[in-house]
């Protein structure tokens, strides 16, 4: 019996710019004012609509303008006409047609999964094998140039049940980092789960004494202390410190992860859908990480509600993603979001949305009402 499968009929793209509430010092690059990202809407012949998001960061993965052009010029022809149940085949076609552009490919794959879920009334987490968790512990990054503002924010968040804070170290002087970590432990003791992220700020030469200093504050892990290609230095820190070392910039894809494992360069990894270039690719990454017993953390770039929902659906169905997530942008940093309703955030946890596909509601009206559109196609 031949079943006539629904196909993608229309693709619309929006390059948007969103104001943010606070300046951010993030080691590899600083952010003030606004962030840009690309939203993608796919519609099938039967009228099912799916959404995806590409949120590159120019110092980390690429640019939003490039993601917009990648989809508009190079991927559009492959997406139009694609059957909704052949997502893996489409990802292979996109990889053949275009090198890199992980965020653009993720946006397409996310919208395809959103549609497939809606067409069979299942969430993306269901399509990935089903949930193993209903909430995900949320980490907030301490990265405000004004540390006192971060301390005031932390106090309110801790009172609201929030526990995990990741401090962006190595941006200010080591002495300032030490004073800030001391202030946080003095104010909150062991009530908080403190993590450190250097975003590649240290040079391998002399890094170990700095790491031994900050180690006194009992961080849960130290993320990416040195540049991404310094895997031997990462391996020495992982060997010499009791505190686990986490690879972020050193681990974009499966090939990177195999190198991290071969050199025992990290004890844990940060998985970002924008780095991995797709939910299926992130799932494959976790199969390797699970085999090597490396737990993972759900990282983010400057992502809005659609990317957050995709990451949440992925982590809900990935047992090894046990170190929480940092999907705090839409609630704490972006001044607005394009969703009709934000993804739930309760007592320091992101709540995995119920409902088919991504489990979110977004409309042209909520998009146009809440984002500055720089370009659309």
Residues that bind Mg ion (CB under 5 A): 197, 223, 248
Would you state the structure tokens that stand for residue 265, as one six-digit string?
């360069």
Residue in 49, 115, 127, 53 with CA at minimum distance from that of residue 84: 115
Nearer CB in complex with Mg ion: 114/249: 249
Residue in 107, 163, 149 with CA at minimum distance from that of residue 324: 163
Nearer CB in complex with Mg ion: 197/267: 197
- Least CB distance from residue 12 to Mg ion, whole Å? 32
Nearer CB in complex with Mg ion: 30/335: 30
Nearer CB in complex with Mg ion: 5/28: 28
Provide the edge-to-edge strand list for the sheet that holds 268-271: 139-142, 164-168, 193-197, 222-223, 245-247, 268-271, 296-298
- Least CB distance from residue 122 to Mg ion, whole Å? 32
- Least CB distance from residue 248 to Mg ion, whole Å? 4
Nearer CB in complex with Mg ion: 117/320: 320
Grouping H, G, I as helix, E, B as strand and the rest as coil, residue 10 is: strand
Q: Which residues contact 159 (CB under 8 A, 6 or more apart)?
A: none
Please give the C-alpha separations between residue 90 and each of 127, 153, 193, in angstroms, as whole numbers: 17, 43, 40
- Least CB distance from residue 224 to Mg ion, whole Å? 5
Grouping H, G, I as helix, E, B as strand and the rest as coil, residue 344 is: coil
Q: Contact at 8 Å (CB) between 352 and 133?
A: yes
- Least CB distance from residue 249 to Mg ion, whole Å? 7
Report the DSSP pairing between strands 372-376 and 349-351: unpaired
Q: At what angle do helices 102-120 and 87-97 cross, to 10 degrees?
A: 160
Residue in 212, 226, 148 with CA at minimum distance from that of residue 178: 212
Would you state the structure tokens that stand for residue 266, as one six-digit string?
């990290």
- Least CB distance from residue 117 to Mg ion, whole Å? 29
Nearer CB in complex with Mg ion: 170/356: 170
Nearer CB in complex with Mg ion: 247/310: 247
Residue in 222, 227, 220, 199 with CA at minimum distance from that of residue 211: 222
- Least CB distance from residue 145 to Mg ion, whole Å? 18
Would you state the structure tokens that stand for residue 115, as one six-digit string?
């549609």
- Least CB distance from residue 272 to Mg ion, whole Å? 8
- Least CB distance from residue 303 to Mg ion, whole Å? 13
Which regions of 1-157 does DSSP assign to beta strands (E)? 8-19, 24-25, 30-31, 34-44, 49-54, 135-137, 139-142
- Least CB distance from residue 142 to Mg ion, whole Å? 13
Nearer CB in complex with Mg ion: 103/197: 197
- Taking the C-alpha atoms of residue 289 and residue 283, their distance in angstroms, rounded to an integer, is 10
Nearer CB in complex with Mg ion: 112/285: 285
Backbone φ/ψ region at 334: left (φ over 0), alpha (ψ -120 to 50), beta: beta
Nearer CB in complex with Mg ion: 201/334: 201
Residue nearest to Mg ion (CB): 248
Given the structure tokens 């017993």, which residue do they identify?
293
């Amino acid at each position: 019996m031949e079943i006539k499968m629904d196909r993608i009929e229309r693709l619309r793209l929006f390059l948007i710019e969103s104001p943010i509430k606070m300046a951010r010092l993030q080691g590899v690059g600083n952010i003030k004012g606004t962030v840009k990202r690309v939203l993608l809407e796919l519609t099938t012949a039967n009228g099912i609509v799916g959404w995806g998001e590409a949120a590159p960061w120019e110092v980390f993965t690429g640019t939003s303008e490039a993601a917009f052009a990648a989809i508009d010029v190079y991927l559009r022809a492959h997406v139009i006409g694609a059957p909704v149940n052949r997502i893996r085949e489409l990802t292979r076609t996109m990889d053949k047609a275009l090198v890199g552009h992980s965020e653009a490919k993720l946006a397409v794959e996310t919208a395809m999964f959103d549609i497939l879920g809606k067409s069979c009334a299942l969430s993306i987490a269901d399509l990935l094998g089903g949930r193993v968790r209903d909430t995900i512990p949320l980490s907030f990054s301490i990265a405000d140039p004004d540390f006192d503002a971060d301390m005031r924010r932390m106090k309110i968040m801790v009172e609201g049940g929030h526990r995990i804070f990741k401090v962006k170290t190595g941006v200010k002087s080591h002495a300032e980092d030490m004073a800030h970590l001391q202030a946080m432990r003095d104010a909150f003791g062991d009530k908080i789960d403190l993590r450190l992220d250097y975003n590649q700020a240290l040079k391998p030469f002399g890094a170990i004494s700095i790491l031994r200093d900050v180690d006194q504050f009992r961080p849960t892990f130290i993320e990416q202390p040195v540049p991404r290609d310094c895997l031997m230095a990462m391996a020495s820190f992982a060997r010499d410190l009791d505190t686990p070392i986490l690879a972020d910039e050193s681990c974009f894809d499966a090939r990177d992860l195999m190198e991290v494992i071969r050199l025992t360069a990290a004890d844990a990894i940060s998985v970002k859908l924008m780095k991995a270039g797709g939910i299926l690719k992130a799932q494959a990454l976790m199969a390797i990480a699970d085999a090597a017993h490396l737990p993972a953390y759900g990282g983010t770039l400057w992502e809005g509600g659609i990317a957050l929902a995709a990451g949440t659906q992925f982590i809900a169905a990935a047992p090894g993603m046990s170190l929480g997530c940092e999907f705090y942008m839409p609630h704490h940093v972006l001044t607005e979001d394009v969703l009709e309703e934000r993804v739930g955030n309760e007592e320091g946890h992101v709540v995995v949305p119920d409902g088919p596909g991504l489990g979110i509601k977004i409309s042209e009206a909520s998009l146009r009402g809440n984002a500055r559109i720089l370009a659309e196609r």
